[in-house]
Structure formats: C-alpha cells, structure tokens
Amino acid sequence: MKAKLKKRLKWNTKCKLCLLPSLLGTAIFFVIPYLRVLYYSLIDNQFHRNFVWFDNYIKTLTNEYFLLSLKNSLLLIVIAVSVLMALALVISLALSYGIKWLRKTRFAFVLPMVIPTASIVLIWRSVFIDSSTALPIYLLFIWKNIGICVVLLTAAFTSIERSVFEAARLDGANSFVLHTKITIPMIVPTVFFTALLSIVNSFKIFKESYLFYGTNYPPDHSYTLQYYMNNNFLKLDYQSLATSAVLTSILVFGIVMVGIFIQRRFDR
Amino acid sequence: MKKTYLKFTVLMLASLLFFSGCSGKIDSEEIPTHDWSGYFVYPMEDVNSFDVDDEGNLYAAAFNSDILKVYDPYGAEIGEKTLPTPYHTAVAVKNGEVFTLTANELYRNEEKIYSLSFEDNAKDIRIVGENIYLLYIDAAADLSQAPMINPFRGWNGEKIVRIQFSDLSVSEVECEYPMLISSNNDELWVYGINGDCGYIAPIRGDKAGESIPTGDDIPESFLMSGSAEKYLFTEVTEDSTLTLCMTDPVTGQTNELMPNVAILDADGIKARDGYIYYLNRYAYAENLNKIERIRQDDYIKDNVPVKLLATEWFSYIPFGCGRTVVESRLSNEEFALAVLSRDHGFDACVLSSSQDFSQNFRDHGSFYVLNDVPGVAEYVERCFPALREAVTNTEGEIWALPLSMNVPCAIYNTENCRVVSFSPNGLTLEELIAEAGGLFASDPSRRDICISANAAIPLLLRYELSGKADALSDGEFTEKMNFIKTQMSNELFGIDISLEANNNIHFDFGINMLTMLVDDKPTQLDFSVNSNIRAVDVFEGTNPAECVFLCVNPSSDNLSATLEYITALCGYLSSKTNDFMLDDKSLYSDSEYISELFEIYRDTEVFFRIPDEILLEPVKQYREGALSLDDLIIESDRKLSAYLNE
C-alpha cells in the first residue's frame, strides 16, 4: 500500500515537473502582465503612481465613448455571431448530408482564412462604397469566419456514429426525433465551442475594420472596444487603456462563463 | 495538499510580480548638483593673436595693432604691452616675456631672435619648458611626396623647428608631415599625416614619440585636452554649422561641445589649467573675433552617450554639451509603446508641439519632472511667456525643456515691395494670401512670392487644429473653408512651393519680395545686415508658435548623467544670443528686423495640434472636391468629439 502511494506520489511529481515550464510560461507571458495591467488601472499615472483605486473604472464606465464601443462590440456579438452560427450550421448540415454540388465547393469556405486581410479589405472597399451602416463589417466578419465554423461543425456532424442513427430508426424514431434527440445533443459541445471561438474572433475584427475605414475614428456604428483602447494607447493614456482592457477581459470571461454554465445545464 | 499548492502558487506569482518592475517612485534625492557657468567671452574685439600665462591671464592683440592687452581670469583689463610690430601671426607668453611671431620673424620682447627665409610662412609658436617650437611652411618643400588623405586639405610643406632658450640654437624636429602643433602645460603634441590617415604624437626634444592614428578629417587647429585620449578641433556638422568638437582618436567617437565656432588659425586654441581658450572667428558679425573660454571639466567628460528617442516624422538633436547624443527613430506606435512601458533603453525624447501626442504626453505621459533639476527653473523663467506656459502642466510641473520655437511671420524687402506698391504690413494672413495670389496671377513666372499651401492651411486653421471643442461649428470655420477653396485653388497653392525650393531667396542675404518664415528659425535667415528687410506678424491676436521639447525618461538607466546633461544644456541655451527663446532684449541685436522679430516672438501662444486625420485630411479631400463642406464639418466634428471625449 505504502509502495503504491509512493509510486503514485512519484508519478504526480513527475507530472507536475512536466507541467512546470508551461505554467511558468503562462505566468510570465499572461498572468503577470495581466496583473501589471490591473495595477496600472488602479493608479493615477505612470510617473507618480498614486493609488486611486476605482476612480479610473468609474471614469471609464461613465465615458460615453467607452459605452458606445461596448454597445457596438456587444451588437457585433449578438447579431454577427448569431447569423454566422446559423449559416455555418446550415452549410455544415448540407455538407454532411451529401449535397454533391456543395461538396465540390467546400474548399471555397476555407478560402477567406488564407486570403490576406489587406486584399480582402481592398475588395470590400470597392464593393461597399456606402459606409452609413456597420453592414460591411458584419459581412466581412461572417465571410472571414464562416470557414472555420463550417470545418468544426462539419467534423462534429460527421463524427456522429451511423450506428446510433440506425439503432434509433430500428426503435421507430422519425427524422424529428433523430435530430432533436441524437444530432443536436451530440453536436452541442462543438456548437458552444464554435460560438465561443466566434465571439473571441469578433474582438479581432479590428484589423479589418481599421483598414476598411482607414482611420482611428470610424463612424459611430463601427466604433468598437478595440478602437477605444487603441486610441487611448496612441494618446498615451495608459490608465484608460488598462482600465478598458481589464473591463473587456471581464466581459469576455463573463461570456465564457455563461456559455459554460448553459452548456453544463444542457448536458444535464 | 491542494491548499498548500495554491498558497505556493500565489506566493510565487506575487514574488514575480514584485520583482518584475513595480518599482517605486523615482528617488528625487539622486539629482546631482552642477555649476554650469563655465562659459565666458572676453570683451576684446577683432582679436588676431593671443596666449595665456601660468596665472591664467589672457594676452590678446587685435588685428594690425601692436598693443597687447592683458586680462585677468575674470575678464578685467589689467594692463597692456607693446609689441615690436602690429603685423603678428601669433604671440606666446612665458615668465613675463612676450614672444611675437610675424610672417617670417620671431621676436623675444623687442629683440629679433630668429628669421625664416622670405618665401617661408610662419604659422604658430608654442613654448614648452625651455624650448620654443615654431611651426612654419617651408616654401621649398616637395609637396608631391606628401600623402593625400583628404581631398580638401593636405600638407603644405609645414615643418617644426626647436629654438632653445639657453643659446637660441635651432634644430629641426623629426616628424612625418606635421600640420599643426599644440601645447598643454609641459607637453607639445603634433598633428600630422602619414599613410592613409592623420596621427597625433608627443614631441620630446627633437623627436616625435609614439603616434596615435586619427581619421582623415584634417582639423583647422587642434588641442590635446591634457590626456592622450582626447583632442579638440572644429568641424562642419550635418547642419552645416561649424562646431567645436572633441574626438577620441582611438574610437573616433565625437562629442559636440560648442556650436558656431570657427577656429581658422593654427594657434587659435589653447589650454591652461583646466580651461580652454579659443579664437572664434565665426560667431560674430563684421569680424569682431573674440576669445571664448570654457571650463574643461564642464565639457570634456568620459560620459556615456545620451540616448535620444524621436519619431520617424520628426527629429531634432539638441546640442551635445560635451556628450554624444545618439538618436533612435521609431514609428508613432513604437514610440508610444516605449514611453508607456517605461522602457529603460532611452534617456530622453524629443517632441514637437505639432505632433498630436505632445499634449497627451504632457497630460498622461511618463516624464521626469524637471522642477528640481539645477538650472531648469531658471532657464524656463527666462524664456518667452508662451514657452513657460507650454512646458508647465496644470500641476505646476515642468514636464519638458523647450529647445526651439518657430513662429510664422512674413519677411519682406521694403524696397522691392515699394516698386510694385505692395506691403504686407498690417495685412492678416488671409489678406496676404489674397494679395500675393493677385500678384502671382498677374505674373505667373515670378516665384518670389511663395506661400506654400501645405504650410499656410495649418496656419489658417490654427485655432481649429488646437482641438478646441465647437471650433468647427461656428461660422468662422465655414468662412475659412470658403476662402481656402476660392483663394488657394490656383497652381501656386496647388503645388507645394516650399522655402527650400527658393534657396536663392534666403541665402543671398537679401530677399526679393516676400517669404513666409514657417520652418526656419530667424537666426538661419539673418537679414539684419540688409536694412531693407522687415518682419511683420500676420495673425490677429497672438501668433501661433511651434515648439520643440525635450523630455527626460524617468526609467532611464543613466538618469543622473542625463540630468547633468539637462543642466549643461540649460546653461548653454541661456547664453545664446539672437536665438529667439529668451525674453531678454539685451541678448538680441539692435537692428529693426531683429527687434520686430523679437516682438513677434514675444506675442505668441504655443499651439498643440490634434491628429491630421481629424481635420487636415478631410480639408485636403474638400480642396480636391471629394468631400462637400457640410460633410467635412460633420465628419471632422464627429472625429474631434471622439478625440476630445474618449
């Protein structure tokens, strides 16, 4: 017994030692910088460094442009990600259930991932001359991310064993029951993962948006959190930058936690 | 076990965080003290020859004068002696005796002790110990054998002879192609050329010691600073100003010491007991050559280079004050990152008020507060009011040192303008542009009325570009836009005719008609010798000024050395004349042109600018017809609101 315990402890120690470099890297390149940003968000400026606690947060949360950027970022998540997921599901279904002509064009969905951003934006600017709405950016986001979503969801669909469907059919299940009781529950984890990935990617659309509008001050409908942070960086306002970065991380963390919570409830 | 691991992890992270750079505030007790008042100018004018005795008294004789005046170390005249001839090339003083060198004769007091042949030409004498060393050009020397290391200057047949005090015996000093000699206390050094480069070597008796190779820049004069490692000479710097520099012959590293210094005589620079004396033939108009003195320790240091940060768009290297200033240029984003992250890799940075982040630097940036740095507060207090205000933030902190200020104004030739019945006096900028445009329209071949659109538009929109809220929504902005569209649409304003395209206008000491002084400092366009030249301001209210600032990085690895440099720089800037930074009329020439410029520079306000994309780029699109006026106002107003309020 003792020997077993000893062996197990030795194994645990080895495992931890193996994990140590990765943990150290995570600590150095993620955790510590994050803690430093948190610290900077609690002081008045980079030279005097007097603690002002949550004054910066109050200032940022009451700033009309931060609220505008937050609203635009959330709208992008709610509208663009929803449309993206719906479209990706339909296409994945069609690819999985063998619509031949669509299968031949499946590489086209991956193409947006490999085309350089500047080239995409060049085409978009010539197509979408009117920039009075955020539609060009939403469409750009959907077009760019449809590929990865289709790949993931198609993989989820095709990974469901045929034998499960056959067994259900033998038990008398119709198509509706097959999809609602087998297909959907089995792909839900992948759907959630894809949705979360898309939400994270929605924060990365800044590069395309910046190139499209060509300015640090796009129209109000496209002014997202990244613009707010980037402009504060250029204005050397590190405290506003740090505060908005922390708030954004809390937002993303919240969204991820909600997603996990829903997924777990669904699993049960 | 899990709780232990958790505690350990938290402890480790906290330790890493603690040691990773959350350092405390800068210790202000590290500021060094420094006396910067080592620079002195002797009052005597038109000096031709000089020397300094062991007590530090200066002996100087004017051109074509046989009176040798004596000054004590404080500049007071304490006596005079009579030279045997007014036609002196050099003088030397030893133990109360005066040695006078003419073109080919040497006198000891009144007695001639040595003569060269008539064709020869004496250049310099130095007294070291019991010997007199005389440098002269031997007219019979064979120049064809001399190495050519520099296409502009070379060996002219110089030779050195030694004359001993005891018996006045003469012997030739053996050294290869000498060109200059220098003495410092009891050592004589020679500068010569051999092979592919120059060299310096000590002279002992009649022989040269071990030589130290130097570069191929042949100086007008040279001086050993007291150790074998460093020597001084004047050279032309990148901006074409003659500068007294110090160079390490081994490493080639050059430090700038004093600008606008031309030592054109072989005997033009000497040293005695920690002070360096030089005859400056450049800094003064009408040949009023004067002796200047600097304290060696103030300027010659074994100091680390000052690492300066600038952006690709704008650069300015301040005077070195004995230090090498090394500049790095970064993009705007890299610059912001370096400043915000408190990068240790730079000591200071330069900014212009026309760069959009300057104001943000003042309000949010990380800079070392200069209030307690010796010399800074005194210097800032002496500056024009606009500069004082610009470098002091709302907390009363001096966040930067002002280095330079440009104020746009119109410079014109009264006589030439009278001929065409044109006068910019009393005109606003808009009226001036309209009048100049009219003259140009009547004769499109003329290029002497040049107002660049790229320069004029920011001046017209100075109030709007300063980021005042609601600046775009009043009628005045609309009027300006209409003016720009109608008056600045012809070819003159469509192409960028800058001052540089008209070198003949401002480099021939006379201006044909009119120019707008925008990017050049008045001292670079010195028209004070031409009494027809005038300056007039063209702005209603205060004149807009653009200022260059120097900010110190509080995280610099060489903070104390950098602050010493700042103190020295303040001393240097405080002593400059006609520099249009200091609010002291006594530092400026008496001409009407300079007086007018002084009043213009006094009545200014430093304008910080918003980013070009907010207003200037939409204005450009409007001028090109790509944007209507209403769209321009809506677009720029929206961007301005975001810029000010985000």
Chain A contact set for B366 (CB, 8 A): 45-47, 238
Per-residue H/E/C for chain A: CHHHHHHHHHHHHHHHHHHHHHHHHHHHHHHHHHHHHHHHCCECCCCCCCECCCHHHHHHHCCHHHHHHHHHHHHHHHHHHHHHHHHHHHHHHHHHCCCHHHHHCCHHHHHHHHCCHHHHHHHHHHHCCCCCCCHHHHHHHHHHHHHHHHHHHHHHHHCCCHHHHHHHHHCCCCHHHHHHHHHHHHHHHHHHHHHHHHHHHHCCCHHHHHHHHCCCCCCHHHCCHHHHHHHHHHCCCHHHHHHHHHHHHHHHHHHHHHHHHHHHHHHC
- Whether the per-residue pLDDT at B609 is higher than 70: the answer is yes
Q: Which residues of B159-188 are buried (b: 16+ CB within 10 A; e: fewer)?
A: bbbbbebeeeeeeebebbbbbbbbbbeebb
Rounded to whole angstroms, how far apart are CA atoms B594 and B585?
10
- Whether the per-residue pLDDT at A83 is higher than 70: the answer is yes
Which pLDDT score is estimated for B195? 80
Rounded to whole angstroms, how far apart are CA atoms B262 and B376?
29
Q: Are B134 and B122 in contact (CB under 8 A)?
A: yes
Q: Does A206 touch chain B (CB under 8 A)?
A: no
Chain B contact set for A228 (CB, 8 A): 646
- Whether the per-residue pLDDT at B80 is higher than 80: the answer is yes
Tell me the residue type at B360.
N
Which pLDDT score is estimated for B489? 63
Taking CB atoms and an 8 Å limit, are B364 and A215 in contact across chains?
A: no
Which pLDDT score is estimated for B529? 57
Rounded to whole angstroms, how far apart are CA atoms B279 and B292?
6
Rounded to whole angstroms, how far apart are CA atoms A46 and A252?
27
Taking CB atoms and an 8 Å limit, are B16 and A28 in contact across chains?
A: yes
Best residue of A132, A217, A223 to probe chain B, by most B CBs closer than 10 Å: A217
pLDDT level of residue B20 (50, 70, 90 thresholds): very low
Rounded to whole angstroms, how far apart are CA atoms B605 and B588?
21
Q: Are B547 and B357 in contact (CB under 8 A)?
A: no
Distance from CA of A180 to the nearest CA of B (A): 42
Taking CB atoms and an 8 Å limit, are B25 and A49 in contact across chains?
A: yes
Helix, strand or coil for residue B382?
helix
pLDDT level of residue B159 (50, 70, 90 thresholds): very high
Q: What are phi and psi of B356, to 5 degrees?
A: -65, -20
- Whether the per-residue pLDDT at A240 is higher than 70: the answer is yes
Taking CB atoms and an 8 Å limit, are B13 and A32 in contact across chains?
A: yes
Q: Are B188 and B132 in contact (CB under 8 A)?
A: no
pLDDT level of residue B38 (50, 70, 90 thresholds): low
Question: Which segment of B33-42, B265-274, B358-367 scores lowest on mean pLDDT?
Answer: B33-42
Q: Does B467 touch chain A (CB under 8 A)?
A: no
Taking CB atoms and an 8 Å limit, are B357 and A49 in contact across chains?
A: no
Question: Which segment of B4-18, B47-61, B333-347 scores lowest on mean pLDDT?
Answer: B4-18
**Percentage above 70 pLDDT, chain B:** 79
Size of interface A-B (CB pairs under 8 A): 85
Which pLDDT score is estimated for A246? 96
Instruction: Tell me the mean pLDDT in the region B565-576.
Output: 84
Q: Does B340 touch chain A (CB under 8 A)?
A: yes
Taking CB atoms and an 8 Å limit, are B340 and A215 in contact across chains?
A: no
Distance from CA of B639 to the nearest CA of A (A): 6
Task: List B82's β-bridge partners, or say none.
Answer: B67
> Using CB atoms within 10 A of its CB, is residue B286 exposed (0-12), middle (13-18) or buried (19+)?
exposed
Chain B contact set for A35 (CB, 8 A): 13, 17
Question: Of the spans B112-116, B182-186, B284-288, which averages the highest pLDDT?
Answer: B112-116
Distance from CA of B407 to the nearest CA of A (A): 26
Instruction: Tell me the mean pLDDT in the region A114-128.
Output: 89
Ramachandran region, residue B578 (left: φ > 0; alpha: ψ -120 to 50; beta: rest):
left
Structure tokens at B25: 């505030």
Angle at CA B583, nearest 5°, toward B577 and B589?
Answer: 40
Taking CB atoms and an 8 Å limit, are A31 and B13 in contact across chains?
A: yes
Of A35, A39, A65, the CB nearest to B642: A65
Per-residue H/E/C for B534-567: EEECCCCCCEEEEEEEEEECCCCCCHHHHHHHHH
Taking CB atoms and an 8 Å limit, are A236 and B361 in contact across chains?
A: yes
Taking CB atoms and an 8 Å limit, are A217 and B20 in contact across chains?
A: no
pLDDT top residue among B71 and A182: B71
pLDDT in tens, B332-351: 888 888 887 778 889 999 98
- Whether the per-residue pLDDT at B504 is higher than 70: the answer is no
Chain A contact set for B367 (CB, 8 A): 47
Structure tokens at B433: 């542009």
Of A28, A64, A217, the CB nearest to B614: A217
Which pLDDT score is estimated for B493? 45
Rounded to whole angstroms, how far apart are CA atoms B618 and B615?
5
Angle at CA B444, nearest 5°, toward B438 and B449?
Answer: 60
Q: How many residues does chain B have?
A: 646
Taking CB atoms and an 8 Å limit, are A47 and B333 in contact across chains?
A: no
All residues at 6 or more sequence positions from B382 whose CB lies less than 8 Å from its CB, including other chains: B574, B582, B583, B584
Instruction: Tell me the mean pLDDT in the region B486-506.
Output: 45
Task: List B207's β-bridge partners, or say none.
Answer: B174, B204
Distance from CA of B391 to the nearest CA of A (A): 17
Chain A contact set for B369 (CB, 8 A): 47
The interface predicted TM-score of the complex, written ipTM, equals 0.84
Q: Which residues of B70-82 are buried (b: 16+ CB within 10 A; e: fewer)?
A: bbeeeeeeeeebe
Tell me the residue type at B419.
V
Q: Which residue of B has its CA nearest to A218?
A: B639
Which pLDDT score is estimated for B2? 53
pLDDT in tens, A41-57: 999 887 778 899 899 99
Instruction: Tell me the mean pLDDT in the region A119-143.
Output: 89
For residues A172, A175, A181, A185, the Cα torsion angle rounded to the nearest 10 degrees is: 150
HSE-up (13 A, CA, CB side) for residue B631: 13
Angle at CA A68, nearest 5°, toward A65 and A72?
Answer: 140
Q: Does B495 touch chain A (CB under 8 A)?
A: no
Mean pLDDT, chain A, integer: 88
Helix axes B629-645, B475-487, angle to 10 degrees: 130
Q: Are B641 and B386 in contact (CB under 8 A)?
A: no
Place of tokens 């606009």: B386
Instruction: Tell me the mean pLDDT in the region B412-441.
Output: 77
Rounded to whole angstroms, how far apart are CA atoms A169 and B386?
87
Q: Are A252 and A225 in contact (CB under 8 A)?
A: no
Instruction: Tell me the mean pLDDT in the region B339-365.
Output: 84
**Surface of A (5-34) touching B: CB under 8 A:** 27-28, 31-32
Ramachandran region, residue A45 (left: φ > 0; alpha: ψ -120 to 50; beta: rest):
beta
Distance from CA of B518 to the nearest CA of A (A): 27
Of A45, A49, A65, the CB nearest to B364: A45
Taking CB atoms and an 8 Å limit, are B13 and A235 in contact across chains?
A: no
DSSP state of B345: T
Rounded to whole angstroms, how far apart are CA atoms B29 and A22?
42
Distance from CA of A80 to the nearest CA of B (A): 25
Ramachandran region, residue B231 (left: φ > 0; alpha: ψ -120 to 50; beta: rest):
beta
Which pLDDT score is estimated for B19? 46
Best residue of A220, A232, A235 to probe chain B, by most B CBs closer than 10 Å: A235
Instruction: Tell me the mean pLDDT in the region B540-550.
Output: 87
pLDDT top residue among B140 and B578: B140
Which pLDDT score is estimated for A219? 92
Q: Are B391 and B399 in contact (CB under 8 A)?
A: yes
Chain A contact set for B16 (CB, 8 A): 27-28, 32
Best residue of B363, B364, B367, B637 to probe chain A, by most A CBs closer than 10 Å: B364
- Whether the per-residue pLDDT at A225 is higher than 50: the answer is yes
Q: Which residue of B has its CA nearest to A33?
A: B17
Its pTM stands at 0.70
Q: Which residue of A has its CA nearest to B334?
A: A234
Helix, strand or coil for residue B4?
helix
pLDDT level of residue B219 (50, 70, 90 thresholds): confident
Of A28, A223, A238, the CB nearest to B364: A238
Task: List B349's β-bridge partners, or say none.
Answer: B309, B551
Q: Which residues of A37-66 are buried (b: 16+ CB within 10 A; e: fewer)?
A: beebbbbebbbebeeeeeebbeebeebebb
- Whether the per-residue pLDDT at B508 is higher than 60: the answer is no
Selection from B570, B587, B569, B586 nearest residue B578 by Cα: B587
Taking CB atoms and an 8 Å limit, are B364 and A236 in contact across chains?
A: yes
Helix, strand or coil for residue B307?
strand
pLDDT top residue among A12 and A76: A76
Instruction: Tell me the mean pLDDT in the region B437-456.
Output: 67
DSSP state of B32: P
Q: Does B302 touch chain A (CB under 8 A)?
A: no
Instruction: Tell me the mean pLDDT in the region A76-95.
Output: 91
Which pLDDT score is estimated for A112? 84
Instruction: Tell me the mean pLDDT in the region B141-163.
Output: 86
- Whether the per-residue pLDDT at B551 is higher than 90: the answer is yes
Which pLDDT score is estimated for B225? 67
pLDDT level of residue B169 (50, 70, 90 thresholds): very high
Of A36, A39, A65, the CB nearest to B646: A65
Rounded to whole angstroms, how far apart are CA atoms B371 and B219?
40
